Each structure stands twice: as structure tokens, then as C-alpha cells.
Chain A
Amino acid sequence: MSLLSVRNVHKHFGGLHALRGVSLDLEEGETVAIIGPNGAGKTTLFNLISCEDSPDEGEIVLDGRRIDSLPPHLAAARGLARTFQNGRVFGNLTVLENVLLGAHTRLHGLTDPGSRPLGALFLSLREIACCLIQPRRFRKLEAELAEEAKEILSMFGERLLPRLHQPAYSLSYANRRRTELARALALRPKVLLLDEPTAGMNPTETEEMTEVILQLQRRGQTMLIIEHKLELVMAVAHRVVALDAGAVLVSGHPEQVRSDPKLIEAYVGKTRADLAKENAALALTAEA
């Protein structure tokens, strides 16, 4: 069974039918890239998977349990982590705090968010008490998480380690994106959702990010990536799913998808030869 499967989801925004029955499967350890022209529904699909929004029809299953219609913070607790298109770091938190926040769902038994009112009240009081008393177990966990955060940040070499205690708003754009990825990794996600991880990065930075993604892949991280840069897609994706106008246009091996005429048509429109053929056909029907 797949780790994540999206089954026939539909989404409407007013009169716009943004997703028309999209299905998608993600196996454990697999990297799948979603491509498609602007307005194809990539980000909508991403928002549905990360439970930012819920589908009008269809279901989304993570590890055997339905997650559509869950609020996003519970989806996170189930092991979904995402990055955002514009690099939404917490500006006034330090780099380290940003990454530690990623591990929020892992503060065992402390932050359990999904209980009924009375249970929630009890757990809230316990959470407050725990912060006030700060038992040793709790301090140890925090210290371990801080170590782990540094380890994650070391993936980016010396880019972020010297800036551990700087506020995130002082970082360069590329460093914010890195911080964001580190934050997502601190959740230890079953599925990592990357929304254009290299948007706005220069070629060197893109290459570095590609390396990081490959490294994650080697560790067995399951990933779903939205990306425009075909080079990156070719380098990292096991499979590619091309969306157009809210539906899956083609999917399969990267090389295969890249040369599919339907995809080329979706991106650049019809070629001159195609148009000529169609015109001729139209002319024939008109005569008849």
C-alpha cells in the first residue's frame, strides 16, 4: 500500500473547478515531482494534502488513515511537513528557535492537540505545569532536540550554523528557505512536501539545494515536490506528475513525461504544424 494516496479529489473555488479528479500515489522512500503551468492546480493540490484546505470530493489517505478534513495542526501530528512557496519563517524567532518549532509535535505527550474538551483542558494544565516545573526529562528532551536541530542545520554546511541565534528576518532569502526546510525536517515527517524549494535561488544555490534533496532521498525520505526548474526535477524525481487545468495530464518516468507532446502543448501551446492541421480539418467540416 502507498504511504500517501490522493484519490479522485475535486476542488471548486466559486465557479472555478480548480481540481478535477486528481489521483496520485506516493510510495515509501519515493520522490515525486508535480509540474505544470501556472494555474494548473499544483498549489491547490498541495494545500489539500497539507490540510490547509479540504477537498470537495475524494479522499486523501496517509499511512492507511484518512487525513482530508483534518485541521492542519493534526495533519502535522500525523507526520506531514511542508515548506511554503514564499519561505514563511518566523521572522522574530532565531534560526534555532525556528527549527525547534518544527519539532513541536514531537514533544511527547505534551502537546497532544486532538483531544475532546475535558481531555484538552487536562492536557493544557499539564503542559503549563510542565513548563513551570521543567522536570529533568523535559529539559533533557529540549536539549536533545537542540542538538538534533544543529545536526539538521549542518546539512547546509556553514550557511546557517554561525547564525543560530540570529533572528530569521535578518537572513538572506536563500537562507530563509534553508531554515524553512530545516524546520520541516525537525518534524521527522513521513512525507515531506516541498513547494518550489528553489524558487528565487541563483544557479549555485539551486545546485546546493539539489544536493540536499538528493541526500535526503538517500536517507529514505519520502518527498513530494512542486518545482518549475526541470533540471532539478530530472535530477531528483523518481516519478513526475504533470497537471494541467486541474487534471493529471501525464505521469510517469521523468524522461518519458518530459518528451510527452501533451505536456509541451500545455506549456507552450500548439506547434505551428498542429495548428495548420487543425485549421485544415476545420475548413473541411465547414465545407461539408
Chain B
Amino acid sequence: MLDQWINGLVIGNLYMLTAIGITQIYGVAGVVNFAHGSVYMFGAYIGWMAITWFGWPLLPAIGLVLAGSALLGLLLERFAVRPFAQAGSTILLLTTIAAGLILDNAAQVIWGPQTQALRNPLPQWYLQLESGIVTLLDLFILACGVTTALILHLFLYRSRAGWAVRATAQDRDAALQMGIDVNGVSRLSFALAGAFAGLSGLLVGLYFNNIYPTMGASATLKGTTAALLGGLGNVPGAILGAYVLGIVEAFSVEWLGASYRNLVAVVLLIGVLLFRPSGLLAPRRALNPEPTAGTFIPHGRPLRFPRWVVPAAAAIAAALPFALVNPYPLQVLAIGWAFALMAVSLNLISGTTGQISLGHAGFVTLGAYASAIFTSRLDLSFAASLIISPLVAAVIGVLLCYPALRLRGQYLAIATLGLGEAISLIALNWDAVTLGPLGISNIQPPAFFGRELVSPVAQYWLALAILLAGVWIVHRLTRSHLGRAFRAVREDEVAARAFGVGLSRYKSLAFGVSAFLAALAGVFLAHSYSYIAPDTFTFALSIQVLTMIILGGRDNLAGAVLGAVLLIALPESIRFLGEYRFILYGLLLIVMLRFRPYGLLNSTK
């Protein structure tokens, strides 16, 4: 009992160090900083280098971590946030995600993808209590947390610079007019937040005795959950939220098992978004109106090309197997078509209907698992599963997303991220049905009327046919009154509603069709890979697909397909790019949003 309280407090302290940074940055820059976890991870690696390579004692190592991660925070502010300050918060969300992607993969390149051991240099002293022990490290972490909170409090409420930070958080424009250097405030906040995040990363590494390049993802999720629990932008709230999260987790690990740790956090995240989006401390009221109309990406309309171009491109794609001898490009392109279908389906939600979704991988996972289970356990044929599994996935997807559909902008984005995570965590924990972390293997290859499609050419054609069907469906829908209604929801929810477009109905329709198509891609991939595990389709895939539609142009079908083909085929065809693929995606996302935000196949003319 006491053990869980101590555990919860220590973990809560660690979450607090990331949560206060996230909440502080939200206050000043208006964005949930998705690169925060990456700074935390870098902090851990800097500390690891100082301790294991240079043999420094703990305190100087901490000094180096603070300086290094503050610097990283500054870089983040300069390149991923400031250039987009006027572009709206959803764009900022995407640029911070891109920055995180770059940092995470840079770490893999620099330090390797393997887990590194981090030895705790503190003496192995501990205090034996009635029903638990307190180690020196526990006390040290508690001391770090309390000191940081105290320093931050004194800074915000007792210093002139802190005054400026609070003023900027309240009203950026007014602060600017009163002569506050808001960019300076922004830099200061990112540096502080970065330093705290780095410290937190190092302490977490010491606590669990290991560090790895992707450790930041869960830190971002936990920090965001804690910050949301306290109400975004509210520093004392974030501290409270972090303790609540830490203690709830400690107890659920005790009662349910260690694998539930993340699921509990995700459930808390979704719960707070649905029921108390302004946080536990705020009076129960709807969240602040966030203007999202047209803020996703600046305006642009599809470039026009002659009528014959699309059928001609489809015909060339279909004839490609006759021209190629080597099957490898066909295999890559088949995957490319499946991704194009995901991009087309995401485009329906994010491009046409204007609802940012970061959980698209969840729909793909749903489809893949549904089909794997139906065909292996219920002996359903592949052909039947190709229709039934996506339908099941669409129904589950809509039911899961429905309560979140009234959220807007970043809040919806985070909720969809949480839902996507929840889907793969359920797949991980529901052993009886999904076989847990092992995944389902030996999934039968695609087959029609008893004939198995195992050759690369056959699978290529199947993928292309599925893609074309998906494109046709989305094309028909978006060219009819439904497309008009979807776009009206994107442009102005209030006006759309006033003209009879029920928001939850049409958002559900968009999510339903989109989930169906994404799941269809999942079904194909599951049978093509013959294997599916909870981590086959991850958050990184959601971001990859989002990058595809930003590359091609929002609300642009041809653009989505082009974006997918470019992003899948390029890293494969240029070998040395393979290792840097995700860094490339991140850079591309930032560069596109900066210089051609409306995409390759849209223009503002």
C-alpha cells in the first residue's frame, strides 16, 4: 500500500517535470508541444554520455543536461514554432510533431536504436519502512521535483520576466502592444521547458536504469495527459495532474498488471478530454472556443488537368507489371497503393471535413485484426472478409470516435491520438482474442474463389484495384451534396449547423467512410504480410499518412495518391535514404508547411 503511494509520488514527480513544460508552452505558444518528449529523450542521452562516457558525477551531469536540453528547446522554438506563429494552432501541432519525428530518428542515427544501460551513480542506500522501501534516488527525484516547482513558481510570480510570461500567456497581442518582447518570452519558456524535460528524461533513465531513442513518445503522452488533467496552460494544475496520473498508474499496475500502465493513462487522457476538457480544476463548462475554421492549412484549390490524365495514370499503373521484370518495385508499389488508400481516407476526414486525426493507424489496426481473427478463427474467406472486416472496423471506429467528435482543433487531434493508442493497447492486452504482444501470424494470403494470390504481380493488382475502388468511392461522395456538407463543416461549423448540417451526423459519416477505407488497407496489408502485431501500425504511421496528404494537397484525391507514392517509393528507390526516412518525413512536413502549405497539387490561384 505504502509502496504504491511512494511509487506514485516518484513517478508523478517525473511526469510533473514534463507536464509543467507542456502546459507552460501551451500557455505561451498556444500549442501542445509534441516534440517535448524528444527533448526529454535527448536530455536522457546527454546525461548518459556525461555519466558513462566522461565518468562525470551526477550533479555536473545534471548541469550539462539542463544546458543541453534548454538549447534544444531554443532550437525547437526557432525552427518549428516561431515561423508558424501566425499559421494557427493545428499547423503548430503538426510542426512540433515533425520536429519530434526528426529528433527521435536523429537519436537513433547518433546513438543507435538499441536500449542503453544507465547506471545510477548514487550510493545504493535505502530506507526500510513498514511496507516498502525508499531509495536515495527516490528522495533525490522528489527533491528535484519540489525544487523545480518552487523555482518555477518563484519565477512566474515573483520576477519581472515571469510577469511578462504570464501576460503573454493571457493575451499575446496585448502583451506585444505593452512592449513585452513576446518572442523573448517564447524563447525563455521553451528553454525552461526544455531544461525541465531533459532533467526529467535523465531521472527517468536513472530510475528504470535504461534509455532508448523512442522513450520520448510515452513522455509526451503522459505529460500531455497530466497537463490536460490540470487544464492546459495551468501550471499548478499540471503539477496536480501529474501526481494524480502517477498515483493512479501506480495503483493500477499493482491491481491490473504492468502492461496496463499505458492503457490506464490513455483512458484517463480520453476521459478528461470528453468530460472535463478544461481540466479538473476548471469549473465544469465547455472548453474555450477555438477558432479552427480554415486554420488547418491555408486555402488552395486542386490544380486542373485534362480529363484523360487520371484514367491514363490508372491504366499505366495497371500495365506496369508487364513492363517490369524485377518484382521488387512491384512489391514496394503495392505497399504504396495501400498507403495511398490510407491517405485518401484520411484526406476525407482531415482535408475535406477539416478534422485533424492523429489516430488513423488505429483504423488500419482495427481492419487488420478483424480480418486476421475472422479468417483464422471463423474460417471466413478472404473475399468476404474484405467487405465484412472494414465494416466492423468502421462501426467500432465510429462508436469510439463519436463522443470525441464535438471536440475541435488540437483537442480532437489529441483525442484521436489517444484513441489510436488505445486501440493498439487493447490489442496488446486482450490476449484471449488478439494473442497479445505476440501478434497473429500465419494469416492466409489473399485468395479469391480458392485461388491464392501469392505472386507479387497478383498482389500488386489487388492493391491497385482496392485503391481505385476507394478513390472512386471518395470521389463520388465528395462530388455530391455530402462533399458540400463536409466542406461546410470544415469552413464554419456554426453556419453549417444553422443550415441543417448536423455536425455529429456528418462528422460520423466522414469518420465512418474513412475508417472503412483505412481498415480496407489494413486488411490487405495483414494478408499480404501474413502477420500482424499491436505495433505493426503505430503513431508514426498516422503521421506518415498525414504527411502524404499535406505533401499532395488537402482535399485533393490525386494529391493524396501522389503524396503516398512519393513518400513510399522515394526512400526505397534511393537506398541511402532508407535509414533517414523518418527524418526526411519530418523535414518535408516542416518545409512544406512553411513554403507550400497548400500542397503540390493545389494552388491558390
Contact with B along A177-208 (1 / 0, CB 8 A): 00000010001000000000000000000000
The count of residues in chain B whose C-beta lies closer than 8 Å to any C-beta of chain A is 32
| B484, A101: Cβ atoms closer than 8 Å | yes
| A92, B487: Cβ atoms closer than 8 Å | yes
| B498, A72: Cβ atoms closer than 8 Å | yes
| B497, A124: Cβ atoms closer than 8 Å | no
**Chain B: which residue is nearest A114 at the CB level?**
B502
Contacts of B494 in A (CB 8 A): 52, 84, 88
| B487, A111: Cβ atoms closer than 8 Å | no
Docked Cα-Cα span, A71 to B502, in Å, equals 9
| B299, A88: Cβ atoms closer than 8 Å | no
Docked Cα-Cα span, A91 to B469, in Å, equals 31
Docked Cα-Cα span, A104 to B495, in Å, equals 12
| A124, B505: Cβ atoms closer than 8 Å | yes
A42: interface (CB < 8 Å): no
| A124, B509: Cβ atoms closer than 8 Å | yes
**Chain A: which residue is nearest B480 at the CB level?**
A131
**Chain B: which residue is nearest A169 at the CB level?**
B299
| B476, A134: Cβ atoms closer than 8 Å | yes
Docked Cα-Cα span, A111 to B484, in Å, equals 13
| B484, A134: Cβ atoms closer than 8 Å | no
Docked Cα-Cα span, A205 to B488, in Å, equals 27
| A113, B498: Cβ atoms closer than 8 Å | no
The count of residues in chain A whose C-beta lies closer than 8 Å to any C-beta of chain B is 40
B301: interface (CB < 8 Å): yes
| A107, B481: Cβ atoms closer than 8 Å | yes
B477: interface (CB < 8 Å): yes
Could you say which of B294, B484, B485 has the most chain A C-beta atoms within 10 Å of its C-beta? B484
Contact of A113 among B299, B484, B505 (CB under 8 A): B505
A5: interface (CB < 8 Å): no
Q: Knowing A91-B294, A93-B491 are in contact, say whether A105-B484 is a contact too (CB < 8 A).
A: no
Docked Cα-Cα span, A71 to B511, in Å, equals 21
Could you say which of A71, A73, A110 has the most chain B C-beta atoms within 10 Å of its C-beta? A73
Contact of A131 among B476, B497, B502 (CB under 8 A): B476
Tell me the residues in window 127-145 of chain A with beta carbons closer than 8 Å to chain B beta carbons.
127-128, 130-132, 134, 142
Contact of B487 among A52, A93, A113, A124 (CB under 8 A): A93
**Chain A: which residue is nearest B490 at the CB level?**
A92
Docked Cα-Cα span, A120 to B299, in Å, equals 33
Contacts of A88 in B (CB 8 A): 492, 494-495
Contacts of B490 in A (CB 8 A): 92
| B487, A73: Cβ atoms closer than 8 Å | no
The segment from A31-39, A74-82, A154-162, A216-224 that touches chain B is A74-82
**Chain B: which residue is nearest A141 at the CB level?**
B481
B367: interface (CB < 8 Å): no
Docked Cα-Cα span, A215 to B113, in Å, equals 73
B257: interface (CB < 8 Å): no
Docked Cα-Cα span, A97 to B508, in Å, equals 22
B residues near A (Cβ < 8 Å) are 293-294, 299, 301, 473, 476-477, 480-482, 484-485, 487-488, 490-492, 494-503, 505, 508-509, 512-513
Other than the given A52-B494, A73-B503, A77-B500, 19 more pairs (CB < 8 A) read A52-B498, A73-B497, A76-B499, A84-B495, A88-B494, A90-B491, A92-B487, A92-B490, A104-B481, A104-B485, A105-B500, A107-B481, A110-B481, A111-B500, A124-B512, A131-B477, A132-B473, A134-B476, A169-B299
A residues near B (Cβ < 8 Å) are 50, 52, 71-74, 76-77, 81-82, 84, 88-93, 97, 100-102, 104-105, 107, 110-111, 113, 120, 124, 127-128, 130-132, 134, 142, 167, 169, 183, 187
